[in-house]
Amino acid sequence: MSAKKLIAANWKMNGSRALVEAVVQQLTNLNSAVDVLICPPATLLSAFPVSRHYKLGAQNVSEHDEGAYTGELSGKLIIEAGATYVLVGHSERRQYYAESDVMVCAKIQQAVSAGLTPVLCIGETLIERQQENTEQVIAKQLAAVYASHPELLVKSVIAYEPVWAIGTGESATPEQAQATHAFIRGQLAQYDAIAAAKVRILYGGSVNAANCQALFAQADIDGALVGGASLKPSEFMQICQSAKD
Q: Is residue 90 annotated as part of the catalytic site, yes or no?
A: yes
User: What is the structure's pLDDT at 130?
Assistant: 86
User: What is the structure's pLDDT at 18?
Assistant: 98
How large is the average pLDDT for residues 94-109? 97
How large is the average pLDDT for residues 146-158? 98
**pLDDT tens-digit map of 155-205:** 999 999 998 777 677 677 899 999 999 999 999 999 999 999 999 999 998
Confidence bin at 245 (pLDDT 50/70/90): low
User: What is the structure's pLDDT at 161?
Assistant: 93
Domain ranges of the chain: 6-244
Q: Is residue 161 annotated as part of the catalytic site, yes or no?
A: yes
Q: Which residues are annotated as a binding site for substrate?
A: 10-12, 167, 206, 227-228
Say if residue 49 is exposed, middle or buried (CB neighbours under 10 Å; 0-12, 13-18, 19+). Answer: exposed
Cα(232)–Cα(112) distance, integer angstroms: 31
Distances (CA, A) of 21 to 16, 17, 37, 72, 120: 9, 6, 15, 27, 28
User: What is the structure's pLDDT at 164?
Assistant: 79
Q: Which residues are annotated as a binding site?
A: 10-12, 167, 206, 227-228
Give the pTM: 0.95
| Contact between 230 and 9 (Cβ < 8 Å) | yes
Return the beta strands (E) in the chain as ranges.
6-10, 35-39, 55-58, 85-88, 117-122, 157-160, 201-204, 223-226
Cα(77)–Cα(99) distance, integer angstroms: 21
Cα(first)–Cα(last) distance of the chain, in Å?
16
Confidence bin at 63 (pLDDT 50/70/90): very high
On average, the pLDDT of the chain sits at 95
Active-site position among 92, 124, 128, 161:
161
Active-site position among 90, 92, 128, 235:
90
Find the range with the poorest average confidence among 24-33, 119-128, 130-139: 24-33
Cα(206)–Cα(105) distance, integer angstroms: 26
Q: Which CATH superfamily is domain 6-244 in?
A: Aldolase class I (3.20.20.70)
User: What is the structure's pLDDT at 1?
Assistant: 56
φ and ψ of 38, to 5 deg: -115, 125
| Contact between 66 and 74 (Cβ < 8 Å) | yes
Percentage, residues of the chain above pLDDT 90: 88
